[in-house]
Structure formats: structure tokens, C-alpha cells
Structure 1
Amino acid sequence: MKKLFLLSLSFLLFGCKSFLINKALEKVGVYDDEVKIKIISNANKKIVFIPMKHIGTESFYDDVRAKIDSLDKQNHFFFYELVTGEEDSITSKKFRKISGLPENDKGYLEILDSVFKKIKYKKKLIDQPKDQMELGFNKNKSKNVDVTLQQIIAHYEAENGEIVLEKCDYDTPINKMSKCSNVKLDKKKLDKSILDFRNEKIVREIYLNTSENLVIVYGENHYSGILKILQERDSTWTEIK
């Protein structure tokens, strides 16, 4: 999801002005040509985690496709990431209020280019395919296990109280940065709703699914949280790669 990716990227890039842009992109793995999978298991299930990036090299996405194809032939079942939800301007404005990010249908790379004008990237970069099926998922053996944007906002408000929109929020088009001033962003509160809440949903789906061999194709920031929840439920969950 664009909003969530750009949120995590912005904290890294803007949080330390001394970092050169290419060094920052390299640090988060944007220039990797291969995906580094992780494998965890307990007595009943094995899970392959494929950490995705929303901007990367063409070789990276080719490698993801190759690994998905190989695991599909080994009869794995796939979970993939896709925050959905019906178009709702209030929900979108509330998300912008807590994240600072406007709604944008442009590709990730185009948005990055608009922020860092005239930057010469270390390698040629492309956007992650918008259609998850372009990564090679078998429709009969894959499932979107993500939440909706409405559910994220409902969770945030249940934890922190109602997100109150101001006149400046309503007056600013949803695809523009809000003109509201003195808005303080709280990354810890956001992470509880955009990471922890979604990780809990993934873990529930893991236990509901009858397959012994699962593949989770999600943003890499989800991995540690998923493993933590699994180990809290069952201490025999172990990293084997």
C-alpha cells in the first residue's frame, strides 16, 4: 500500500538529513537484485516469508516471481498484502491526518521522483506491480489476508480516540498535503494500527488455514511482528532460515 510504504520510508529518509538519498535507499534494500526469504516452522506448519518492496529493481521482482513459481509447484498456499476498502473521503482524510500523507494514485517511483527532483539513482528502479497477480500467484492457492483502510482507522480510533478533522482538512484536496498546521505525527501509535493490527490478522489466518506449507508475501517490516505474535502463542515457532 502506497501510504504505508511512504510513511515508513519518510521516517527513514527525513529523520537523518546527513544520509545521502542513495545511501538511504540502499539501506532499506531498494537496490537489491534478489529477495532474501525467511523460513519459520513449528510442529504443524512451515511458513516461507517473502519480504516485498514497493520500489525495487527489475531483477528483484523477477526473483520474487521465480520463488513464487517454485513454491507454487511445491504445493504451498500464499497470503498476500493488499489494503482495500471502498472509496471514502472521510476515511482517507483521517488517514492523512494521522500519517501526513495525501492520497495518491501515482506510482511509488513517480512520487519519490517528485520529492527528490533530479536525483540520479544508483540503479534503474521500477514500481512493484499494482496487480498482485502479476507476481504469479495461483488464484486457487492464494488469498488477500489484509485489512481495509476503514478497519485501520477504526482500530486507531479505538486505541487513541476519535480523529477530529478540522476545516483545513476538509478544504484541502485529498491528493494534496494538508494545510493544517501544528500536526504532530506519532509513529508508535501509527505502527500499532498499520503494523501490529495487520500482523494479528495474518496470524489468525495462519491458524485458520489448513495448509501445512504457507507463503507470506508482505512488506518486510511485518516479519518481526508476525514472528513475535506466533511465538507468544506457541513457543515452538522457530526460525530455520
Structure 2
Amino acid sequence: MSPVNNKTRQRMFEWKVRLSTIVWFVLFLGFLASLPLIIGWAFWLLAVTIGIAAIIAMPAAWVVKTWFDPGHKRSFVLHWMRANVVLICMLSIALAAPIYYLAVITESQPLLLPQATLSNGHKTIVFQGMQHIASDNFYKSVVYDIERALADGYIIYYEGVQTATPESKEYFSKLSRLLTGNANLARTYKTLGDACGLKFQSDYFMLFEADKKEHPERHIVADVDAIDLKHEYERLMSSDPGFSTAHVNDFSSASQVHSSDATVSMVEWLQSGTEGQKKLAGIVCRGAMTLAYTSHKDEKSGNLDPLILDFRNQQLVNKILNDSNNKIFITYGANHFSGIFDLLKQKDPSWTIATVKWLRPVEMPKKEHQGSLLVDAR
């Protein structure tokens, strides 16, 4: 054999060793990174991962020994052990990678909600995009801005479908079950918030109860009554063929079985889990919320948007234009903003966006730090 061929083989061998070392290093590093998440969920998950890898490694070892080791330089057991280690690393990485992805996406591409100041030269509106469950810092910032707005002479518009009569309350319960699978929206949001490591909006707005009693004219629930939603729903069903076709079975008994029931049950089950399980569930929940609520330009509208968004936007704009107050601070779901602004522009083209600031509603809960007082408490 020529020296040139020997050198070529030697170089190929060296590159093979280098690549093999890199692959083993990456696999081992990935396994170490995934280990805290797997053990954090449950020790038995690691045992199951090892067991599955051991079973899959048997046919994999046979294939390698038969097709890639024709000289039978290594025993079947050695091939199995190598395949087993590789598979344990790969399965562990596959289990942990989605959780790491959701954690990274929450921090690197955070969900942002607008606080936009609108003006037509005569009236000023501050629209604060809201979310029913969000971080502690988000709600504290909103509460601070509302208090400052009150001091500056603004009145506050709150979102919240009203249920003034037993009939409207009954209809809202039916509609809530259609939308979320649970007639008790507050319970649903509270449960999801606890699982996500986030807070429920109403817990913070309770801070204004005293001021509401003293100055009710400054705090307005600007949303529609559930009966108004019922009448609009019936109008759409009779006048809009596309809407009626999409919602012909809305309130049938079959449609009342909704996946959110299962979601809430699963979340409640997680709340009884270990601290590690709760922490991982929070990471997954916050990441899923970030992906789900981040708007996309090509996102299709929902089937109930003509009722839940368009109708309520129109009613809110009418209330804004008919209000004698020239300073209004609105706390409404962020999805309402574009529709409200478009409607205002249709009524008066002079409406413009003066300023915008962005608030982050979903983030990891901050650790509470507690010091000590160097005094004798007796």
C-alpha cells in the first residue's frame, strides 16, 4: 500500500475520532442539561427513559453489528451498550428540549401589550391592553398608571360583560361555556394563573373598590350587557349566512363538552404535584401563552369575532364618542385595540396615536427576598 493511501487513511481516521468526540460531547452535555428537568418532574421518568432506551438499543445494536461491523470486531453487548447510552442521551434531550424552547422563547421573544395614547385634538384616550392573567409586575404597573390617570382627571373604563338580570347571567354562563368550556370564567382564569405562576387581574383591581364607592362617576364598566350579546347573536344568526352556518350547533348538548374542562382539571391536578412539577408546568404554561397570544399578521379571525370583538368594539366606541369627559383611560383586552382605533378613525380621521409604550404581561415569577431587622423584637 502506497504512503499516500496510508496518509489519507490516517487523516480519515483522525477526522472520524474528532467527529465522534464532538458527537459524544454534545450528547453528554445535552443529557446533563436535560437531567434536572427529568428528575424535577419525577425520578421514575428517568427510569422509564433508561428502560425504553435499553429495549430500542437491541435492534439498533443488531443493525450496527450486522451492517457496519462485518468483521465482528466488537461483541453484541458492546454495540448494545453504546447504542443504549446514545439513546438515553437522545431521549432525554427530546424530553427536555421543548421545555427549554418554551423557557427561551418567553424570555427572548416576550409577549408585549400596548398602552397607546390616542387623541383627535379635543379628546384624549389612553388604551391599556389587558390580559386576564399576567405577571405581578404587569398589574402593578397598570395599577400605578390608573392611579396617576385618576389624579390627572381621567375617568376609567373597565372591560367586563355585565349580567344585571338572571336572564343575562344565564346567557353569559352559556356563552362562557361555549368560549372556554367553563361557565365560571373567574375560576378558569384563577386556576390557569396559579398553574402558570401568574396572577389574576381582578385581584389587583380590588384596590380601587374604596375609590369606586367614593367616586363612582370615575369608574365605569363600559362593556355591554350579556342580553345585548344575546340579541346581537340572534341578529347575526338571522342575517349572516356564514355566521349562522358556523354556529348552528353552538348551544347543543354535544357542544358543551369542551376541551377546557379537561385543561382545568389537568391544571388542578398539577397544583397538587411536587414543587418540581409545578415549576416545570409554569414554564410550559408561560411559554404556551407567549406563543398563543403573540399576534401574527396572517392570523385568521375567530368564528365568534363578529360578536365578541366587533360588536363590543362598536358599542365601546359609541360610548367614548358620546361621553362628555375628554380624558378616558381604557383597560380592555389588547385584541380590541385595532378595531377600536379603526372605528374611531372612521368617525373622525383626525384621531392619531400620540404615544405607545409596551408592557410585558408574561414573565418568570420573581423570587421574594426577605431581610432581617437587627433589633430585639421583645
TM-score under structure 1 normalisation? 0.69
- For residues 71-103 of structure 1, the C-alpha deviation after alignment (integer angstroms, 9 at most, x for no partner) is 111111111111121454455335534x35321
Given that 1:38 and 1:49 are in contact with CA atoms closer than 8 Å, whether structure 2 keeps it comes out as: yes
Structure number with higher relative contact order (C-alpha < 8 Å, ≥ 6 residues apart): 1
Aligned to 2:183: 103
Given that 2:155 and 2:218 are in contact with CA atoms closer than 8 Å, whether structure 1 keeps it comes out as: yes
Aligned to 1:198: 312
- In 2 relative to 1, CA 213–113 (structure 1 residues): closer, same or farther, beyond 3 Å? closer
Please report the RMSD computed on the Cα atoms of aligned residues, expressed in angstroms.
3.3
Aligned to 2:321: 207
Aligned residues: 201
Q: Please say if 1:126 is aligned against 2:199.
A: yes
Identity %: 26
1:204 Cα deviation from its structure 2 partner: 0.8
Q: Please say if 1:157 is aligned against 2:243.
A: no
- For residues 186-222 of structure 1, the C-alpha deviation after alignment (integer angstroms, 9 at most, x for no partner) is 9543111111111111111111111111111111111
CA distance in structure 2 between the aligned counterparts of 1:28 and 1:201, rounded to whole angstroms: 31
CA distance in structure 2 between the aligned counterparts of 1:169 and 1:156, rounded to whole angstroms: 17
Match for 1:237: what amino acid? Answer: W
Given that 1:93 and 1:169 are in contact with CA atoms closer than 8 Å, whether structure 2 keeps it comes out as: no
Given that 1:94 and 1:153 are in contact with CA atoms closer than 8 Å, whether structure 2 keeps it comes out as: no
Aligned to 2:140: 62
1:176 Cα deviation from its structure 2 partner: 4.8
Q: Residue 38 of structure 1: SS of its match in structure 2?
A: strand
CA distance in structure 2 between the aligned counterparts of 1:195 and 1:210, rounded to whole angstroms: 25
Q: Residue 47 of structure 1: SS of its match in structure 2?
A: strand
- In 2 relative to 1, CA 21–47 (structure 1 residues): closer, same or farther, beyond 3 Å? same
Given that 2:131 and 2:334 are in contact with CA atoms closer than 8 Å, whether structure 1 keeps it comes out as: yes
User: Could you list the runs of 5+ residues in structure 2 that have no partner in the other structure?
Assistant: 1-97, 239-243, 263-299, 356-378
Q: Please say if 1:42 is aligned against 2:120.
A: yes
Larger CA Rg, structure 1 vs 2 = 2
Given that 2:134 and 2:193 are in contact with CA atoms closer than 8 Å, whether structure 1 keeps it comes out as: no
CA distance in structure 1 between the aligned counterparts of 2:207 and 2:233, rounded to whole angstroms: 32
Greater shift, 217-226 or 131-140, is seen at 131-140
Q: Residue 203 of structure 1: SS of its match in structure 2?
A: helix
User: Could you list the runs of 5+ residues in structure 1 that have no partner in the other structure?
Assistant: 1-17, 115-120, 178-185
Aligned to 2:66: none
Given that 1:51 and 1:218 are in contact with CA atoms closer than 8 Å, whether structure 2 keeps it comes out as: yes
**Paired residues for 1:1-241 under 5 Å:** 29=111, 36-85=114-163, 86-87=165-166, 88-89=169-170, 92-94=173-175, 96-97=177-178, 99=179, 101-104=181-184, 105-111=186-192, 124-129=197-202, 132-135=205-208, 138-161=215-238, 165-168=251-254, 176=261, 188-241=302-355
CA distance in structure 2 between the aligned counterparts of 1:109 and 1:218, rounded to whole angstroms: 18
- For residues 106-154 of structure 1, the C-alpha deviation after alignment (integer angstroms, 9 at most, x for no partner) is 151413667xxxxxx5xx4111125744357653312111012232232
- In 2 relative to 1, CA 57–226 (structure 1 residues): closer, same or farther, beyond 3 Å? same
Match for 1:127: what amino acid? Answer: F
Match for 2:199: what amino acid? Answer: I
Given that 1:230 and 1:237 are in contact with CA atoms closer than 8 Å, whether structure 2 keeps it comes out as: yes
More helix by share: 2
CA distance in structure 2 between the aligned counterparts of 1:84 and 1:130, rounded to whole angstroms: 18
